[in-house]
Amino acid sequence: MGAAGQGVPMSTTGSTTNGPTESRSPGTIDELGGDLAVAALAVARRFSAGATMWCVGPVWTEHARHVAVEFVHPVIVGKRALPALTIDSPDPVAALRPMAASGDVLVLVGDASTPGARDLLRRADAWGLTTVWCGAGDRAPAGSAHHVLWTDGDPAARHDGSVVRLYHLLWELTHVCFEHAAVLTPADVGPGEVCLTCSDEGRPGEVLSVDDQGMAAVRTAGGVETVDTTIVAPVGTGDLVLIHAGTAIAVLDEP
């Protein structure tokens, strides 16, 4: 996958314009339906493999809590209770770092201006999490998350039920996927998943420590790897690097 997560396979509307989408009438969700379908299948697969869902709303705190309660305590009797937890911290990266594991899911809820969103999503990607960003209004930048679920709307969209509807539908479709056990274990890399075996462009990782020879312990989706950082030196703890063949080939810029 590419630098800063830009090579992450995107849902269908991920490559559309970043600006307001006035051309789409409110309530028309042809594209969103496809985005939701792909995201729900990815989330269902991750849950089936034992994932925890981390829900973060740095500003839209109420929505993060709503997402977590949806998945933990289903409104429909008989549906599985799934592990979903809200991260209620002014520093969600620091809160998630020791808790989140590769294969988990991060749901970020907030508009495109959510502070810290880019850094959080990039680190979650480097740690091997599947990332979902639900928001409204001006669209989040293409490639900012593996799954971008967006709704049009005026500045009151945070409150008018349209954002709630995004994750209600995500929950509903995720549970439909559970009824189709055969699709839950992908035979190959499915839509929205990251291919780790053809990493020509480099895989992201977070530097844990560096020795004086430039050899670094780097956290990636696959675990902690020893990586030669001499060609991008100096790097420090917390830096995000791109790894190719055991070598750090780039340092991702500060968000």
Binding site for another protein (CB under 8 A): 27, 29-30, 32-34, 36-38, 40-41, 61-63, 65-66, 69-70, 73, 75, 154-156, 158-162, 164-165, 168-169, 171-173, 176-177, 180-183, 185, 187, 190-191
The nearer residue to another protein, 71 or 133, going by C-beta atoms, is 71
Angle, vertex CA 32, rays to CA 144 and CA 68, nearest 5 = 70
The nearer residue to another protein, 97 or 168, going by C-beta atoms, is 168
**Edge-to-edge strand order for the sheet containing 84-87?**
84-87, 53-56, 105-109, 130-136, 147-151
Cα–Cα dist 203/42, whole Å: 20
The nearer residue to another protein, 75 or 94, going by C-beta atoms, is 75
CB 192 within 8 A of CB 9: yes
* Residue 28, Ramachandran bin (φ over 0: left; ψ between -120 and 50: alpha; else beta): beta
Q: Which of 3, 7, 8 is nearest to 131 (CA)?
A: 8
Cα–Cα dist 25/158, whole Å: 18
- List, in sequence order, every residue forming a beta bridge with 54; answer none if it has no partner: 85, 106
The nearer residue to another protein, 115 or 255, going by C-beta atoms, is 115
Cα–Cα dist 142/13, whole Å: 8
Minimum distance from residue 53 beta carbon to another protein (Å): 15
Cα–Cα dist 86/103, whole Å: 17
The nearer residue to another protein, 169 or 210, going by C-beta atoms, is 169
Minimum distance from residue 231 beta carbon to another protein (Å): 40
Minimum distance from residue 156 beta carbon to another protein (Å): 5
The nearer residue to another protein, 154 or 211, going by C-beta atoms, is 154
Minimum distance from residue 22 beta carbon to another protein (Å): 17
Minimum distance from residue 177 beta carbon to another protein (Å): 7
The nearer residue to another protein, 138 or 201, going by C-beta atoms, is 138
Minimum distance from residue 117 beta carbon to another protein (Å): 19
CB 106 within 8 A of CB 129: yes
Minimum distance from residue 69 beta carbon to another protein (Å): 5
Q: Strand, coil or helix: what is 105?
A: strand
Q: Strand, coil or helix: what is 45?
A: helix
Cα–Cα dist 73/189, whole Å: 30
